[in-house]
Amino acid sequence: MPSTFHTAKTGRGTQEKWGVTADPTAPSKPNVVAQISTDQTDYRFPLLISDEGSFQDLDLSVKFKSVSGKIDRAGGLVFRLKDPNNYYIVRANALENNYPGFSPEIAYVHACSGKRALALEMLADIQKKTGGRDPSPYQAALIYAALGENDQAFRRLGEAHRKHDGFMTHLKVDPRLDPLRSDPRFQDLVHRMGLPQ
């Protein structure tokens, strides 16, 4: 790996494995950086992190190709990284039929920035592109919580709980849910999930 990068992992499973490999179809011919682990663990997200400084107001892009994977087949960009469990991400996953141009994370950022109409418009676009479904009920709850629409947020969290949304594992530690923690419905949800109080 290039010396200006280090690796990390969010979640479970074996250590992440990255390598430089040849790919004649790559825009960066002849080589690409590839995540080469075959670990099948669910909730496992390998990270490749640049060590080249801290940035503000920049345009960032990445091209990636989904090659294999039965649990996840995704790629994207992490930003505002504090540690392997605390960052924002914009990603697309070939197995989840999601769309990088209609990212729930970007809608969340708009909601936090006071751009209510734009956040709701993006959420509606995501639902339209996914056949009327939320990207994930948990992610929709984050957007509604940032907008101060607590009833909608709790409705989506309840749905996420019923559907066993994998993001619900973040419920007790996700700082984006802080606006909801003082509501009795939050403690009720923690209790229903069997999490320690």
Tens digits of residue pLDDT in 51-94? 887 777 777 777 787 777 777 777 888 877 888 877 777 777 76
C-alpha 8/C-alpha 15 separation (Å) is 8
Q: How far apart are the first and last CA of the chain?
A: 43
DSSP H or E run through 128: helix 116-129
Give the mean model confidence (pLDDT) for residues 16-43. Answer: 84
pLDDT at position 60 is 73
For the whole model, what pTM was predicted? 0.51
The residues facing 22 across adjacent strands are 31
Write out pLDDT tens, residues 114-151.
889 988 988 888 777 666 555 688 999 999 999 999 99
Are residue 102 and residue 193 in the same domain, yes or no?
yes
How many distinct structural domains can be found in the chain?
Answer: 2
Are residue 103 and residue 188 in the same domain, yes or no?
yes
Residue bearing tokens 């007790």: 172
pLDDT at position 132 is 56
Are residue 48 and residue 19 in the same domain, yes or no?
yes
